[in-house]
Amino acid sequence: MVSDPQTISPALGFVLDLLNTVDLRTYGDSRALLERDQLADGAGAGRWLAQQGITGASIGVADHSADLREIREQLRAALAGQGSLRLEGLIGLTIQGGASPRLVPRRHGDPVEAVAALIVSAATTPGWLRLRMCAAEDCRRAFYDHSRNGRSRWCSMRTCGNRMKTRSYRERARGSAASHVSLTPSPGARRARTHTFRREGDYWTIGSSGRRFRLKDSKGLRYLARLLAEPHREFHVMDLARGGAPAEGTPREAKASYPLLDSEARRSYEARLIALRAEIEEAESWGDDARASRAHDELQFVADELQRSTGVAGRDRSFATDSERARVSVTRVIKAALTRIADESPELKHHFASTVRTGTYCSYSPDPRLPAQWEL
């Protein structure tokens, strides 16, 4: 009997969770995709077993992490076609008869044997043949193939599938005969990757070795180049708009300004405060606590707004119109440039999403654990 490709048994779901307790994704240089292992130590293994509903007297006392990692790596190797699943020496199981025979641990309360029993149970189902390892070398996540023909290669068509297909298309378009280069770094390696962000006349050459593209010059690309040239430095938007450091003797904020609250708005707020105080007094005299509470909340809001708009010695606070306009303009053109780059390179899209900050102050702050060098 052929199983429904849209359904997945609890045992298979458990196996997928075990396979993905280690995350080896490296695409995008994103902090959220850093390598991590939930079974790295005894405490992590105990937490994972508890999350899976596997209980036993030895959880939290014995360190099961080494055995669980060994089972997981055998599973991943077998799934990738690089080995067979051999659990001898790690488990002891017996078959319990009845209406439907099932495998149970021989040693009661041994969580490793309970894990192995679930794996063996999953392996006896037709859905076992639909377990896959993502074909993207910089992903390698395990997934269940829900497709009708059972030939999926990617854990997600939207992410890995589109990335790999786009990369293959560009390599063919360039007529490159070079073989596919894996983006997965060797274990423990965090070498700085060299990228290009160089202006050549009216165009910018952007990307890394073998994956470069060109974009027509724009203000957003020029601002980005300025940020890349000085990582971790915060640039005020007025400085970026002027193309460098603040002009000598010129304040950061523009002189043109106007108050946060004009005189008419201030009078309205003050009148509302008087009305709210009267409403609170009336509500409390009638014992209407709900009405008094609502009036108290509004009174606090109005008072905060008046306080926010008043500076030292009761002077009106104002904001610089030029600075605000620069913030909106610089943010808009930088985000437009990032969108153009994202259309060409998903890798740089993910990198810039976690490293470029815009606002009144803009910066490029790469994670020191994922170094990047830029040829400008």
The per-residue pLDDT for range 19-38, each reduced to its tens digit, is 988 888 776 544 454 557 88
Question: 328-364 pLDDT, tens per residue?
Answer: 888 889 998 998 888 888 888 888 888 888 888 888 8
Nearest to 52 by CA among 66, 62, 38: 38
Comparing 39 with 105, which gets the higher pLDDT?
39
Comparing 251 with 326, which gets the higher pLDDT?
326
Comparing 235 with 322, which gets the higher pLDDT?
235
pLDDT band at 186 (very low <50, low <70, confident <90, very high): very low
258-267, 308-317, 353-362: least confidently modelled range: 308-317
pLDDT of residue 145: 87
Residue type (1 letter), 55: T
**What is the model's pTM?**
0.43
Whether residue 241 is predicted with pLDDT greater than 50 in this model: the reply is yes
Residue type (1 letter), 73: E
pLDDT of residue 247: 42
Whether residue 39 is predicted with pLDDT greater than 70 in this model: the reply is yes
pLDDT of residue 87: 63
Instruction: Choose from 137-141, 222-226, 301-305, 342-346 the range with maximum mean pLDDT.
Output: 222-226
Burial class (CB in 10 A: 0-12, 13-18, 19+), 164: buried
Comparing 30 with 56, which gets the higher pLDDT?
56
Rounded Cα–Cα distance for residues 333 and 191 (Å): 31
pLDDT band at 173 (very low <50, low <70, confident <90, very high): low
* Both structure tokens of 217: 């010059």
Rounded Cα–Cα distance for residues 146 and 4 (Å): 9
C-alpha of 311 from chain center: 40
Average pLDDT, integer, range 296-304: 81
Q: What are phi and psi of 185, to 5 degrees?
A: -70, 155
Percent of the chain having pLDDT more than 70?
Answer: 69
Question: 98-152 pLDDT, tens per residue?
Answer: 555 556 665 556 788 888 888 888 887 888 888 888 888 778 888 888 887 778 8
DSSP symbols for 233-301: PPEEHHHHHHTSSPPTT--SS-S-EEESS-HHHHHHHHHHHHHHHHHHHHHHHHT-HHHHHHHHHHHHH
pLDDT of residue 223: 92
Nearest to 115 by CA among 83, 70, 75, 68: 68
pLDDT band at 254 (very low <50, low <70, confident <90, very high): very low
pLDDT of residue 118: 84
pLDDT band at 309 (very low <50, low <70, confident <90, very high): low
Percent of the chain having pLDDT more than 90?
Answer: 2
Average pLDDT, the chain: 75
31-35, 67-71, 287-291: least confidently modelled range: 31-35
Whether residue 67 is predicted with pLDDT greater than 80 in this model: the reply is yes
b or e along 100-113 (b: 16 or more beta carbons within 10 Å of the residue's beta carbon)?
eeebebeeeebbbb
Rounded Cα–Cα distance for residues 364 and 229 (Å): 9
